[in-house]
Amino acid sequence: MREALHTNAFRLKAADEAIAAGVTSALAQASDCHRTTIYRWKKRRDEIASATSSSTVLKSGRRGPKVRFPDLEQRLLDWVEDMRRNKVRAVTTGCLLVMSIKLEPRFLDTRTEAAAVKYLRRFRLRNRLSIHRITHKGRRKRSEVQVVADEFGHSMRYKLETGSVLAGYDKYEHLYNMNQTSIYVDMNPKTTITFRGDRDVDVVQGMSENSFHAMQKNAYCDERVMLESIKEVWTPSVSFCRVLLLDSLKVHKMNTVRAHLEDAMTDVEFVPAGATMLAQPMDVAVMAGFNRECRELAGMGTDFRCDNS
């Protein structure tokens, strides 16, 4: 059976405080338990009070089911602590499930995967683990980036309103955006399981030294690929003057690339570096979904190819 974490006297004191001042996060933290536990103690206050004089714990039959693998939880918690030490690696529910099976091969013998996920949720609650969104320490504050994005937006609106040969809303039909994106099957998730109270929830960005796995040998954009894309994809579709938004990449600013775009009646504007998320929120959102679909297809072993366009 699980060892009792709190005595009846301790439970009774916490229940009385909950009745007097209500169930709060501060009370739960001081009692070293979850708020739902305080609610249960408050509801069973009379039963706890009657058992305090004769026993330090409640009756064993009311403390939950027997733990089938008592050593698994501590080993799993040690693994989470090791992974989150120095905020090095992200931990997901899928990671916990895989490690549970590795640490205890019989973990899924008598339970379904859905039941195992529910067990892992209770494991997180018992050990003060929660799911947090991964945050990175940027070199610039969001307010500073927002100023750059606003200035870029004002300059683009001025350019379209005063420099366009078209009038009305027709001018916006000639404003385009081109983007290249890398697709990594093993990209970090958006969230990670970590201990409550962590302020900076970061993970290492990068890969092992001299290690790179690609779905295609030439899944990149250099001068040759960019010129080929302009010649075969962009130029045939141009029938009138256009404005093209490009990221501030070295390959985009090459003189040869600019010259080919000018020959295709295209004026180029560059999105300020570091402000893509704010200056092009819809573009970033669309590419995120596209990357996710490609990773899922690759994970299922689907054979597919992406054109350079």
- Alpha carbons 155 and 151: distance in angstroms, whole number: 6
Is the distance from CB of 192 to CB of 218 less than 8 angstroms?
no
Is the distance from CB of 41 to CB of 15 less than 8 angstroms?
yes
- Alpha carbons 135 and 200: distance in angstroms, whole number: 7
Residue 76 is predicted with a pLDDT of 92
Residue 298 is predicted with a pLDDT of 63
Is the distance from CB of 251 to CB of 257 less than 8 angstroms?
yes
- Residue 282 predicted with pLDDT over 60: no
Is the distance from CB of 50 to CB of 56 less than 8 angstroms?
no
DSSP of 207-247 = --TT----SSTT-S--HHHHHHHIIIIIHHH--S-EEEEEE
pLDDT band with cut points at 50, 70 and 90 for residue 300: low
pTM of the model: 0.44
Within 8 A by CB and 6+ apart from 152, the residues are 271, 272, 275, 279
Supply the angle between the helices 45-52 and 35-43 in degrees, to the nearest 10: 70
76-129: per-residue pLDDT in tens? 999 998 888 877 778 888 889 989 999 998 888 888 889 999 999 999 988 888
Is the distance from CB of 257 to CB of 223 less than 8 angstroms?
yes
Tokens of 288: 């995120």
DSSP of 158-182 = HHHHHH-SS-GGGGGGGEEE-----
Q: Which of 14-18, 42-46, 81-85 has the lowest mean pLDDT?
A: 81-85
Residue 217 is predicted with a pLDDT of 53
Is the distance from CB of 14 to CB of 27 less than 8 angstroms?
yes
Residue 307 is predicted with a pLDDT of 46
- Alpha carbons 261 and 34: distance in angstroms, whole number: 61
- Alpha carbons 243 and 181: distance in angstroms, whole number: 21
